[in-house]
Amino acid sequence: MRIEDAKTKLKARGFDVRKAPIPGPTLHTISKCRERCESNECGAYGVTWACPPGSATPGECIEMLSGYGSAALITRTYELDPRDRRAAEAAALQFQDDCRKAAVALREEGADIFMMADGKCGYCESCTYPDAECKHPEMLVPSISGFGIVMSDYVKECGREFSFFDDRVEFFGIMLLR
């Protein structure tokens, strides 16, 4: 599948999509992002395979991302008060789930893709981390931050503004295609 075909299919699912460069995290950016993850503001640090320390090691992150030939930046905006933590978390889980469903559909059509998104995975009611392997690795959508990608920098690299709003929240995903 070509990137343009994948973008068209993602747009049909209601995502805003643009072609993007392959993310190029470094050991430095991964370290900085993971320091932020350790603060555990989202509550996902150390409790899911999609987030550190359960996600890929820094070296694995760099190696995995370098194996793809094209990328797309995926966004969706939700009209809500960003200070309403419950509403923002619900929107984040919805975005994750929509990214997961899109990834599954594209894979069923033969695409070799890797999908990452803002936030924690949330697929299983209770994650097996760290006691057992992920029960549904095909459904796992890892955290962008866990891969050392600084979204504000990456979004600018994609030719977009990165902003915070008083009346809405924008979530990001990255789809990589071989």
Burial annotation 77-99 (CB, 10 A radius, 16+ → b, else e): ebebebeeeeebeebbeebbbbb
Give the pLDDT mean for 31-39: 92
Predicted confidence (pLDDT) per residue in 67-94, tens digit: 999 999 999 999 999 999 999 989 999 9
- Give the separation between CA 15 and CA 94, rounded to whole angstroms: 12
Position 72 scores a pLDDT of: 96
Contact 116, 96 (CB under 8 A): no
Task: Tell me how many domains the chain contains.
Answer: 1
Taking phi first (over 0 means left), then psi (-120 to 50 degrees means alpha), and beta for anything else, what does residue 164 get?
A: beta
* CB within 8 Å of 38: residues ≥ 6 apart: 45, 52
Query: Pick the residue with more confidence: 168 or 41?
Result: 168
Q: Taking each helix axis as running N to C, give the angle between helix 27-38 and helix 58-66, from 0 to 180 degrees, rounded to the nearest 10.
A: 120
Q: Does residue 178 contact residue 22 with C-beta atoms inside 8 Å?
A: no
> pTM here?
0.92
Kindly state the percentage of the chain with pLDDT values over 90.
Answer: 83
Where is average pLDDT lowest: 25-34, 41-50, 57-66, 128-137?
41-50
Alpha-carbon distance of 177 to 34, in angstroms, equals 25
Q: What is the pLDDT of residue 41?
A: 83
Q: What is the pLDDT of residues 92-151, one digit of tens each?
A: 999 999 999 999 999 999 999 999 998 888 899 899 999 999 999 999 999 999 999 999
Alpha helices per DSSP H over 109-159: 151-157
pLDDT band at residue 4, thresholds of 50, 70 and 90?
confident
For residue range 153-170, what is the model confidence (pLDDT) as tens digits? 999 999 988 888 889 999
The overall longest dimension of the chain from CA atoms, in Å, is 42
Please state whether beta strands 70-79 and 168-177 pair in parallel, antiparallel, or not at all (unpaired): antiparallel
Q: Which domain holds residue 64?
A: 3-177
Which helix or strand (DSSP H or E) is residue 23 part of?
none
**Could you tell me what percent of the chain has a pLDDT over 70?**
100
